[in-house]
Amino acid sequence: MVHSGFESRIFPSILVMVRPKVLLSRCFLEAVRYNEEKVDNDFVNKLKKYVDYIDFCPEVDIGLGIPRKRLIIVKNNGSKKLIQPETGVDLTKKIARYAEKVLKSLSVKDIDGFLLKANSPSCGVGSAKLYKNGKLIGKDYGFFAKKIKEKFYYLPIEDEVRLKNKDIREHFLIRIFAFAELRELVKNQKRELIDFHTKHKYLLMTYSPKYLKELEELIKDAKIDIVEKMKLYKEKFYKAFFKKPSPNRYVNTLLHLIRHISPMLTQKEKKHLLFLIENYSKKKIHLKVIIELLKNLSHKFENEYIPYQKYLEPYPDELEELKKS
């Protein structure tokens, strides 16, 4: 197999994952909810083992007690307010100032994603109840979550209910772990950009062939100095992962990956691989089945390039499945 300039090297067989930095709602850690409850969530409990987190509770941090009267979002004359209906207190300006202060303290080098409490009027990710004239009229982002989305639109922001969806959860995990590695690369001012890009090549191909091509052209451009190149690479890398890829993109990536070992495969092995890929495209089998076979074949033929790809294991396996609830 002839490799491109990005691939002609010896690859380590084990990939080390950088721990993502995640902003986490404090109610997953402590009993700070309005009703004095702590939220016990299987996914969050697993995730905490693999990430470094900063915890916040906007409602407690602005001075509200535990327990406290509930808050709601009220729409009136085109504007939205955070109101405590039982007391009539308007907390809109107070939580806006709090959000501005907190988010100003966070920069892209410090955070890789956000995991917030569903349905919360401060933290809900499109799940907070919206009222008008005392009636429920729909759902919206909580006040704190909305400010996060506006300032850090390129980073993943989810709540624990949305993450029950396997596709959303996978998209969230792929992004926070990829962004953690990017942050580490930029932070340490490493000149290992080619290695980084090589590891993420097939993830980038899956998410955005357009940005993969642009990033490769950027790396090859000798007219751009390393500082500017890193800046531009970072901006494009975030954009590449913005939209969740279609199943067809995963199939396309698999077909590209197997080319690295296809000359060594027997006709039966090739036929079996293509059969599995077709079944994956029809949602009959899990992607992990094909990934494990690719790993085994790579070991068999001493191919070090395929196992080097983050595509094969973009996040820890333990985070893959949740308990049935």
Note the pLDDT of residue 26: 97
Residues 6+ apart with CB under 8 A from 281: 247, 248, 251
State the Cα torsion 305-310-312-314 to the nearest 10°.
170
Kindly calculate the radius of gyration of the chain based on its CA atoms and give it in whole angstroms: 23
Confidence at 282, pLDDT banded by 50, 70, 90: very high
For 187-240, give the DSSP string: HTT-S-HHHHHHHHHHHHHHH-HHHHHHHHHHHH-TTS-HHHHHHHHHHHHHHH
Is 70 exceeded by the pLDDT of residue 221?
A: yes
Mean residue pLDDT of the chain comes to 91
What residue numbers bound the domain in which 143 lies?
21-166
Confidence at 228, pLDDT banded by 50, 70, 90: very high
- pTM, 2 dp: 0.91
The verdict on residue 240 lying in a domain is no
Note the pLDDT of residue 8: 43
Confidence at 323, pLDDT banded by 50, 70, 90: low
Confidence at 291, pLDDT banded by 50, 70, 90: very high
Amino acid identity at 234: K
The verdict on residue 101 lying in a domain is yes
Count of residues making up the chain: 325
The pairing of strands 79-84 and 72-76 is antiparallel
Q: Which token pair is 131?
A: 């009222």
Q: Quick one: average pLDDT of 283-291?
A: 92
Is 60 exceeded by the pLDDT of residue 13?
A: no
- Total domains in the fold of the chain: 1
Which residues are bridge partners to 79 per DSSP? 76
- Cα separation, 142 vs 5, in Å, equals 47
Positive or negative, the CA dihedral 230, 234, 235, 239 is positive
Note the pLDDT of residue 191: 65
Quickly list H helices, 38-164: 42-47, 58-61, 92-105, 143-151
Is 80 exceeded by the pLDDT of residue 3?
A: no
pLDDT in tens, 85-131: 999 999 999 999 999 999 988 876 689 999 999 999 999 999 999 99
Note the pLDDT of residue 78: 83
Confidence at 201, pLDDT banded by 50, 70, 90: very high
Cβ(183)–Cβ(21) under 8 Å? yes
The verdict on residue 219 lying in a domain is no
Note the pLDDT of residue 178: 97
The verdict on residue 42 lying in a domain is yes
